[in-house]
């Protein structure tokens, strides 16, 4: 009899072993989840009622999220959305090793797939600087986003290193550590970081916000992203704005001249918005534009 019961129980034991621990663990202030053995964390700002959708606010840089991003998280929760600020791997409360814009995108795509467990059916991304690359790749990988905001993000990491070599050579040691080499030592290590191939597969609307005087990411990189989207048959509306958010009326010179102004179109279509006199920064006019598009993407 004992052997018979063991025989009946064995399939249940195997099923439990396959299922393993819960993939999403809600804790005060956020959620933990795992991918391929790495424990990952995202801060979560929950609305007072049922969420209208989820917004993944993806931080840039090689450190933990800033207080500015946490403030945006709380603000979106007040507007009725579930807002999440992921600690990308190797940063903050997340384990693993920083890989730039590689494993981080796979991690974020998994988090997006787990959102129904938090009662959310629709989601969008807003990625900042390096986080823009991660957000775009994640959205292309998981395929369910309402839209992606790509805010002052890179598409050519080798070009970033060339700029840093002239302006901040002390930063190159950190880049070699993270990417495993410098571009001249391993061009493929940098080519695979680029979000451009993923941009060609992204079906959701894309909003690109770019500064014209960005010392880290030239406006020509945003234009290359536009070219990829146009190459897949997407219409990309192009606009130049002042820091106050009003139309830019001066000539577009140097790298800024790659923009071909057309005016705004429907928010469900792609947009490239250039702030010609802006450095590597996020300003209120950008945030206002971002809010306008995000709300439109979630509109029934």
**Rounded mean pLDDT for each run of 10 residues along the chain, 300 residues in total:** 37 37 87 97 97 97 94 97 98 97 98 96 97 98 98 97 92 90 93 97 98 96 98 98 98 98 98 97 97 95
For the chain, give every domain's residue range.
40-156+194-298
Q: What is the pLDDT of residue 8?
A: 35
Predicted confidence (pLDDT) per residue in 241-282, tens digit: 999 999 999 999 999 999 999 999 999 999 999 999 999 999
Q: What is the pLDDT of residue 274?
A: 98
Strands 24-27 and 30-35: antiparallel
**Order of strands across the sheet with 206-211?**
24-27, 30-35, 38-45, 82-87, 54-58, 123-128, 148-151, 206-211, 270-275, 236-240
- Per CATH, the number for 40-156+194-298 is 3.40.50.1820
Question: CA-to-CA distance for 135 and 101, rounded, in angstroms?
Answer: 9
Q: What is the pLDDT of residue 29?
A: 96
Predicted confidence (pLDDT) per residue in 280-293, tens digit: 999 999 999 999 99
Q: Which of these, 84, 104, 82, lies nearest to 95 by C-alpha position?
A: 104
Q: What is the pLDDT of residue 6?
A: 35
Structure tokens, 275: 């702030």
Structure tokens, 205: 């609307």
Evaluate if pTM is beyond 0.85: yes
271 and 204 Cβ atoms separated by less than 8 Å: no
Q: What is the pLDDT of residue 22?
A: 63
């Amino acid at each position: 009899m004992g052997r018979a019961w063991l025989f009946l129980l064995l399939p249940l034991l195997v099923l439990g072993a396959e299922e393993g621990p819960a993939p999403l663990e809600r804790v005060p202030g956020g959620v933990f989840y795992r991918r391929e053995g790495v424990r990952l964390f995202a801060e979560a700002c929950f609305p007072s009622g049922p969420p209208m959708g989820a917004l993944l606010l993806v931080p840039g840089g090689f450190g933990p999220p800033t207080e500015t991003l946490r403030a945006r998280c709380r603000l979106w929760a007040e507007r009725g959305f579930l807002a999440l600020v992921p600690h990308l791997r190797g940063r903050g409360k997340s384990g693993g090793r920083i890989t730039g814009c590689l494993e981080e995108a796979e991690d974020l795509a998994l988090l997006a797939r787990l959102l129904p467990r938090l009662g959310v059916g629709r989601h969008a991304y807003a990625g900042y600087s390096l986080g823009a690359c991660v957000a775009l790749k994640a959205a292309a990988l998981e395929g369910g986003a309402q839209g992606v905001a790509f805010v002052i993000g890179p598409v050519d990491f080798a070009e970033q290193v060339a700029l840093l070599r002239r302006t901040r050579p002390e930063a190159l040691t950190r880049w070699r550590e993270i990417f495993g080499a410098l571009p001249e030592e391993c061009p493929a290590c940098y080519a695979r970081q680029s979000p451009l191939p993923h941009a060609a597969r992204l079906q959701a609307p894309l909003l690109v916000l770019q500064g014209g005087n960005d010392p880290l990411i030239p406006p020509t990189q945003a234009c290359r992203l536009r070219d990829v989207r146009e190459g897949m048959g997407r219409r990309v509306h192009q606009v130049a704005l002042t820091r106050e958010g009003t139309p830019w009326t001066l000539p577009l010179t140097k790298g800024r001249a790659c923009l071909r102004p057309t005016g705004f179109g429907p928010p469900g279509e792609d947009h490239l918005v250039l702030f010609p006199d802006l450095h590597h920064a996020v300003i209120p006019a950008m945030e206002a534009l971002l809010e306008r598009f995000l709300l439109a993407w979630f509109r029934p």
